[in-house]
Structure 1
Amino acid sequence: MNFPQIRLQSSPASIAIQTMPGKMEIEQPQAELDIQQPKAILNIETTPGRLTIDQTEAWADMNIKSVFRMAEENAQEDQQAALEATASISQDGDELMMIENGGGAIASQAKRNGESPIYEFNIGWIPRHGSVKINYEPGDVRIDAKPQQVINNSKSQKPIINYTPSQVDISLKQHQSLDIDFTNLKFVGINYEQEI
């Protein structure tokens, strides 16, 4: 027995997708450098140190003196010797004036004036310590420095960017289809009838 059949055969639609990836190119030009550093203004003032050495007394201790100083010292020594001699003669006169009181004034004067004087001597240094006078005035340094600002005329460069966006192409590769097939059907009027 043949039964009527409807046979359906379909195929789906398919699409084609084609992609082109994007591309980005970046180029960075070098910056233009123009930097200048002016020299600082430097002012230095110095006052030199001063050293003075006075050896006058050291030379005098070794009896190396100026003519004026020797004349002055000799005058002082002569004046002192004259005063001492006057005092001694005056003392001798006073003793002789009172000879009647006894005491042997003539004998004591003869002994005193007839003996050589006894000089005392001890260790000495020529020239003596501290006879050289040293005076030092330290110097001075004044520094005035004025720094100068940096002159910067550098220019930066913007990057060069080339961008190609990605692209997607979508197309219909195959249309959908539906095939209908009838078997064992009899068409009567506007309807189908089954044939038995």
Structure 2
Amino acid sequence: MKIPQIQITTNDIKMDWSIKDPVQRIHQPRAKQTISQPPAILEIHTTDSTLKIDSSQARSDIGMLTNKESIEKYAQAGKEGVLKGISRRVKEGYQMMNAAGKDQGRSVMQSIAKQNTGPKRPGPYNIKFVPSVGSVKIDYTPGTTDVNITRQEPKIDTQVNKPILEYTPGKVTGTMIQRPSVTIDVKS
């Protein structure tokens, strides 16, 4: 016995597609930015230093005197010289008075003359530092310097631009070239 067979034949659809791609353009304009830095504020305050040098004692030690000091020095030396002279003459007068009437007139005068003349031994020799140590007086007051710096913040101004978007959508169109079909045959 023969069983009939079913034969199925199919034809697929055939399409002709036309595809237009979408186009998207994105343009980002640069941001605008300005930066400025104000200068820092600098303040400097100073006080002057003072230096005082007193060399009057040193000048006096080496003989450089002011007019007033010179007059006073020589006036004092003159007074002392006069007093020494008076003292010497009084002493010599006492010597002559005590020797009077004792037949020593000539010998007293000779001894007084010897006292006032002849070699005199100079005073003691010693080293003297001129000017004397510590005769120059120095007084120094240091000055001060105060520095103040005030920092200034930078100024930053930024303007952000939005992106520019351009979009063209794509398009798909199709044309059917072959329609689908199903054919069924029964064969015995």
Indicate whether the TM-score tops 0.5.
Answer: yes
5 Å-filtered alignment, 1:6-25, equals 6-11=5-10, 13-14=12-13, 24-25=24-25
5 Å-filtered alignment, 1:4-153, equals 5-11=4-10, 13-14=12-13, 24-77=24-77, 116=120, 118-153=122-157
Aligned: 1:181 with 2:180: no
Q: Percent identity?
A: 29
Check 1:66–1:160 CA distance in 2 against 1; reply closer, same or farther (3 A cut).
same
Check 1:182–1:157 CA distance in 2 against 1; reply closer, same or farther (3 A cut).
closer
Q: What amino acid maps onto 2:154 in structure 1?
A: V
Query: What are the superposed Cα offsets for residues 45-68 of structure 1, whole Å, 9 maximum, x if unpaired?
Result: 222322222222222121110011
CA distance in 2, matches of 1:18, 1:27: 29
Q: What amino acid maps onto 2:53 in structure 1?
A: I
Query: What are the superposed Cα offsets for residues 118-158 of structure 1, whole Å, 9 maximum, x if unpaired?
Result: 41122222222322222222222222333333333321223
Give the TM-score taking structure 1 as reference length. Answer: 0.58
Check 1:19–1:75 CA distance in 2 against 1; reply closer, same or farther (3 A cut).
farther
Give 1:155's aligned residue.
159
Query: How many pairs align?
Result: 175
Deviation at 1:32, TM superposition (A): 1.2
Q: Any unmatched runs of 5+ in structure 1?
A: 94-105, 185-196
Which deviates more from structure 2 when the two are superposed, residues 32-41 or residues 58-67? 32-41
2:7–2:187 contact (8 Å) kept in structure 1 = no
SS state at 2:32 partner: coil
CA distance in 2, matches of 1:22, 1:83: 135
CA distance in 2, matches of 1:88, 1:169: 154
CA distance in 1, matches of 2:11, 2:90: 167
The alignment yields a C-alpha RMSD, in angstroms, of: 4.5
SS state at 1:141 partner: strand
CA distance in 2, matches of 1:149, 1:4: 100
Q: Any unmatched runs of 5+ in structure 2?
A: 94-107
Q: What amino acid maps onto 2:157 in structure 1?
A: N
Check 1:27–1:80 CA distance in 2 against 1; reply closer, same or farther (3 A cut).
farther
Give the TM-score taking structure 2 as reference length. Answer: 0.60
CA distance in 2, matches of 1:92, 1:173: 171
